[in-house]
Chains A and B, each alone.
Chain A
Amino acid sequence: MTVDESFTSLPLGDLAEAALSRARALGAEHADFRVETVRSQHINLRDGHVDGVSDSSDRGLSVRVVYDGTWGFAAGVALDARTAAALAEQAVEVAKVSKPVNSEPVVLAPEPVHGEHVWVSSYEINPFDVPDTEKIGHFQRWSERLLGADGVAHVDAEFQAVQEGKYFADLAGNRLTQQRIRTEGALTAVAVDQESGAFETMRTVAPPVGRGWEFFTGNEVFDWDAELDALPGLLRDKLTAPSVQPGEYDVVIDPSNLWLTIHESIGHATELDRALGYEAAYAGTSFATLDKLGTLKYGSPVMNITGDRVSEHGLGTVGFDDEGVQTQQWDIVKNGILVGYQLDRRIAQLKGLNGGRSNGCAFADSAAHVPIQRMANVSLQPAADGPSTKELISRVRRGLYIIGDKSWSIDMQRYNFQFTGQRAFLIEDGELKGQVKDFAYQATTTDFWGAMEAVGGPQTYVVGGSFQCGKGQPGQVAPVSHGAPAALFRGIRILNTVQEAGQ
Chain B
Amino acid sequence: MSTSSKPQDLVEKALELSRADGAVVLVDAATDANLRWANNTLTTNGVSAGQQVTVISVKNGATGAASAAVGVVGRSGVDVAGIEDLVRASEKAAEESGPADDANQLVPGRASADWDEPPAQTDISVFSSFAPALGETFAAARAEGSLLFGYAEHSMSTQYLGSTSGLRLRHAQPTGSVQLNAKSGDRSRSAWAGVPTADFSDVDVVAVGQDLARRLEWAKRKIDLPAGRYETVLPPTSVADLMIYAYWSAALRDAVDGRSVFSKSGGATKLGESLAGSSAIKATLRSDPTATGLECTPYVEAYSSNAYQSVFDNGLALGPTEWIKDGELAALLTTRRTAAAAQAPVTPFVDNLILDAAPGGTGPSLTELTGSTRDGLLLTSLWYIREVDPQTLLLTGLTRDGVYKVEGGEVVGEVNNFRFNESPVSLLSRIAEAGRTERTFSREWGDYFNRTAMPALRIPDFNMSSVSPAS
Contact = CB atoms under 8 A, between A and B. Distances in A.
Interface string B47-66: 11111101000000000000
A79 B48 contact: no
B135 interface: yes
A192 B264 CA distance: 11
A4 interface: no
A184 B392 CA distance: 29
B34 interface: yes
A52 B74 contact: no
A100 B149 contact: no
Contacts of A287: 469-470
B76 A59 contact: yes
Q: Is the interface of A mostly helix, strand, loop or mixed?
A: mixed
Interface string B19-57: 000000000000010111111111111111111101000
B134 interface: yes
A374 to B, nearest CB: 13
B391 A199 contact: yes
B383 interface: yes
Contact of A501 (B127, B311, B392): B392
Nearest to B74: A56
A231 interface: no
Interface residues of B, number: 107
A412 B470 contact: yes
Interface residues of A, number: 97
A240 interface: no
A199 B263 contact: yes
Interface in A25-59: 42, 44, 46, 49-59
Contacts of A442: 419, 465-466
B471 to A, nearest CB: 7
Nearest to B267: A194
Contacts of A136: 96-98
Given A50-B69, A411-B417, A100 B131 contact: yes
Interface stretch (A65-73, A299-307, A427-435): A65-73
B89 A280 contact: no
Interface in A361-412: 368-370, 372, 407-412
B216 interface: no
Contacts, number: 304
Contact of B74 (A55, A104, A280): A55
A498 interface: yes
Given A97-B124, A500-B394, A190 B470 contact: no
A74 B48 CA distance: 6
B426 interface: yes
B28 to A, nearest CB: 11
B384 A474 contact: no
B1 interface: yes
Contacts of B153: 473-474
A501 B394 contact: yes
Given A52-B72, A52-B304, A102-B41, A415 B99 contact: no
A49 B77 CA distance: 32
A197 B388 CA distance: 18
Question: For B50, B147, B383, B470, which residue has the most chain A Cβ atoms within 10 angstroms?
Answer: B470
A420 B390 CA distance: 13
B181 interface: yes
B187 interface: yes
Contacts of A355: none
Interface string A79-97: 1100100000010011101
A491 to B, nearest CB: 15
A409 B388 CA distance: 9
Contact of B384 (A52, A97, A409): A409
Interface of A: 42, 44, 46, 49-60, 62, 70-80, 83, 90, 93-95, 97-98, 100-104, 131-133, 136, 140, 153-154, 190, 192-199, 201, 276-282, 284-285, 287, 368-370, 372, 407-416, 418, 420, 438, 440, 442, 444, 473-475, 493, 495, 497-498, 500-503
**Which 6 residue pairs are nearest across A and B when measured between Cβ atoms?**
A197-B265, A73-B46, A281-B181, A413-B470, A132-B96, A77-B77
Interface of B: 1-4, 32, 34-52, 54, 69-77, 89, 93, 96-102, 124, 127-128, 131-132, 134-135, 138, 147, 149-151, 153, 179-181, 183, 187, 190, 192, 257-259, 263-267, 303-307, 311, 383-392, 394, 396-398, 400, 417, 419, 421-423, 426, 447, 463, 465-471
20 contacts: A50-B99, A52-B304, A53-B71, A57-B76, A59-B76, A73-B45, A78-B2, A90-B47, A190-B257, A195-B265, A277-B149, A284-B383, A370-B44, A407-B387, A407-B396, A411-B400, A415-B468, A416-B417, A473-B447, A503-B392
Given A74-B47, A281-B180, 5 more contacts: A73-B45, A93-B124, A287-B470, A370-B44, A440-B388
